[in-house]
A and B are shown apart, each in its own frame.
Chain A
Amino acid sequence: MSGDHQDPRDQSEPMLRVTSLSTVFPSPAGTVAAVDGVSFSLSAGQTLGIVGESGSGKSLTLYSIMGLQPDTARVEGSILFEGRELLGLRDRDLNRLRGQRIALVFQDPMTALNPYLTIERQLSEVLQYHRGVSRSEARAGALEALRRVHIPEPERQLDRYPHQLSGGMRQRVVIAMAMIGGPALLLADEPTTALDVTIQAEILDLLAEQRDGGTAILLVTHDLGVVARLCDRVIVMYAGRVLEEGDTGQVFGRPLHPYTEALLAAVPRLDEDAPPAGRAIEGQPPDPLALPDGCAFWPRCSRVMPACRRDRPDLVVRSDGRAVACHAVAPDPLASEDRP
């Protein structure tokens, strides 16, 4: 937030533009792309959800943006944040961005908090590191940060340790830590998965508040309900690739890719008129070391065609602004109007 971070972007350029991002691991049988050619962009105040099942590469996409991929991995492509290329940035410069302009919220709040430090120390550490404020200023800042995430009796909580807080309160503290530098972009990896539903609902409200304050949020989750509540746009990933992208209402209301459709049908529903039975997708997600030729989803797909076993479909942006990677879906939206 200090002067040297004035971004040079012009207003039309999105805050984050990820292009052909691949995260590649060496393996005895050659290289394995756990994230394979992922592209998307995100503007201020927008919320983008990445959904997929375990092994789809959704979390690794997020960690690769932060430069937190495993040491053995190689990241390729381009990650433009506020007009600046993050790939190849020196650690020192990356560290200055992390925690100030970009912040991260993990699934398990306990791993993000130091068990030996009081809540005050955890929060003021961020302020002292990034802003060089004095101790008393840091305490005031920490208190303010706790107030912003609606922690009851914030003065009392400052002197407590993480284990003395409930899971929901810990996640609030983690979000307070993430937001303390006033980041432009918040990356959240399954931020509510470890929490009970009533607590999850409160944390989602809190994230919506941050979004309404202008922070862009990139949310990784396996829970389609969480995406429905919070995200403007959604990306569906499978075996490291994007199969579909679009406005959340459109993708959920009228999915184009057979996988999106099957995934939505597999989720058991609580709304009354929806069918209570989740319809299973046959088969197992593929082994990343032995991906099938062609489209990775074809062995489980209900609309498989000969081309699917041979050629991997590219993600095609249609004239209605939606993108889908499937041979069975017409690139022209008018031609697919007859689909339910």
Chain B
Amino acid sequence: MTDPGRLLQVSDLCVRFPVAGAFWQKPSVVHAVNSVSLDLAEGEILGIVGESGCGKSSLGRALLHLIPASSGQVLWRGTDLARMGAGERRRTRREMAMIFQDPLASLNPRMTVGALVGEPLDIFEPRLGRVARRDKVAGMLARVGLTADAIDRYPHQFSGGQCQRIGIARALMLSPRMVVCDEAVSALDVSVQAQIVALLGELSRETGTALIFISHNLAVVRQISDRVMVLYLGRVMEVADRDRLYRSPRHPYTRALLSAVPLPDPARERGRSRIRLSGDLPSPLSPPGGCVFHTRCPAAVDRCRHDCPPLEGDAGHQVACHRWREIAEEDGPGSSGS
């Protein structure tokens, strides 16, 4: 169970938020994350995709222990985060970092870039000398592609892409073992987005830092991830090695998602058939029984309304669907790619 080679071992993690209604109403509960289990190896890049409200951000925050888990376990290098003492948790904290969606909002506008990027050093290495600190900050800025004269400037003097570089420098300052990137490139223009995705991939490979890359953008996730997990209403629908997931998706939800993304190729785009989903995302206050996806699934049968399918398959490709084998067969041989 406790394998120190694994950075992160998560089992049956649930995150629930109480929602206060009016005083005569019973308080209700949002099931943001529901029985999610996952492993993360040193240096691995795990992509987490899903639409709004699927629980991907809550999951990312719960992994860092920024929000408490309602149940389940998060083991960080074999030790349960929730049971650590204050000192040990603090030491563990420096091994994890986070990069946020809105680069400008996540940087204090009244701090210089030097102060922002050096702040983790002030907290964890307070005895570092002034010159050594400045060298480290300048070195980090250079690694993320910013010039040393950035040190004395303020975040508003930089473009969105450059601010995200500052956020990355700040996150990587203490050489963490894991960085959670929550929609880290979603606010950026495509030309800059590609720069930042390439930078994150390079830095992760060079330093052996594992990434949890959370995004709604399936194409960006494909670009950077080793493995990809698809979430829907707080539950894992499918998790697989990158190429297996994109080449032969098994879950009807994954297939519908992939078919909905328009391709920047008019000839191909117009000849493509799309899997249509019926209806809207159900409220996470009262997720449907059985398989949470059955209300919108084009392949749902009676069984899906009653039994919640377990995640099954080999280590390289797992899916939570009663009917995935039949669906793969309907597609004909070759496209199922088991």
Q: Hey, which bits of chain A sit against chain B, CB under 8 A? A: 53-54, 152, 166-169, 196-202, 204, 222-229, 248-249, 252-253, 262-264, 266-272, 274, 276-282, 284-285
Point out the residue from B247, B264, B270, B280 that lies within 8 Å of A272, measured CB to CB: B247
Closest-by-CB residue of A relative to B246 is A270
In angstroms, how far is the closest chain B Cβ from the Cβ of A238? 10
Chain A residue numbers with a CB within 8 Å of B219 are 267-270, 278
Cβ-based interface call for B174 (8 A): no
Chain B residue numbers with a CB within 8 Å of A263 are 190-191
Judge whether B264 and A222 touch: CB under 8 Å.
no
Cβ-based interface call for B67 (8 A): no
Cβ-based interface call for B82 (8 A): no
Q: What are 13 A-B pairs at a CB distance below 8 A?
A: A166-B281, A168-B280, A196-B51, A201-B260, A228-B264, A229-B270, A270-B218, A277-B198, A278-B193, A278-B220, A280-B191, A281-B194, A285-B189
Judge whether A271 and B263 touch: CB under 8 Å.
yes
6 closest Cβ pairs, A-B complex: A225-B262, A224-B264, A281-B191, A278-B194, A280-B194, A53-B189
Judge whether B266 and A248 touch: CB under 8 Å.
yes
Q: Hey, which bits of chain B sit against chain A, CB under 8 A? A: 51-52, 159-162, 189-195, 197-198, 216-220, 222-223, 246-247, 256-258, 260-270, 274, 276-277, 279-281
Point out the residue from A226, A253, A266 that lies within 8 Å of B193, measured CB to CB: A266
Chain A residue numbers with a CB within 8 Å of B279 are 152
State in angstroms the CA–CA spacing of A197 and B258 once bound together. 9
Which among B52, B159, B191 has the highest number of chain A CB atoms within 10 Å? B191
State in angstroms the CA–CA spacing of A276 and B221 once bound together. 10
Judge whether A252 and B198 touch: CB under 8 Å.
no
Q: Contacts A169-B280, A270-B219, A276-B223 known; A229 to B269 CB distance under 8 Å?
A: yes
State in angstroms the CA–CA spacing of A306 and B25 once bound together. 72
Q: Contacts A168-B280, A270-B261, A277-B223 known; A284 to B159 CB distance under 8 Å?
A: yes
Judge whether A225 and B263 touch: CB under 8 Å.
yes
State in angstroms the CA–CA spacing of A61 and B256 once bound together. 35
Closest-by-CB residue of A relative to B253 is A198
Judge whether B274 and A201 touch: CB under 8 Å.
yes
Q: Contacts A53-B189, A270-B222, A278-B197 known; A264 to B264 CB distance under 8 Å?
A: yes
Judge whether A198 and B265 touch: CB under 8 Å.
no
In angstroms, how far is the closest chain A Cβ from the Cβ of B45? 13
Which among B223, B261, B264 has the highest number of chain A CB atoms within 10 Å? B264
Chain B residue numbers with a CB within 8 Å of A276 are 222-223
Q: Contacts A268-B222, A278-B223 known; A53 to B263 CB distance under 8 Å?
A: no
State in angstroms the CA–CA spacing of A252 and B270 once bound together. 13
In angstroms, how far is the closest chain A Cβ from the Cβ of B288? 16
Closest-by-CB residue of A relative to B160 is A54
State in angstroms the CA–CA spacing of A166 and B220 once bound together. 26
State in angstroms the CA–CA spacing of A199 and B277 once bound together. 9
Chain B residue numbers with a CB within 8 Å of A281 are 191-192, 194-195
Closest-by-CB residue of B relative to A231 is B266
Judge whether B257 and A198 touch: CB under 8 Å.
yes
Chain B residue numbers with a CB within 8 Å of A167 are 52
In angstroms, how far is the closest chain B Cβ from the Cβ of A225? 3
Chain A residue numbers with a CB within 8 Å of B222 are 268, 270, 276
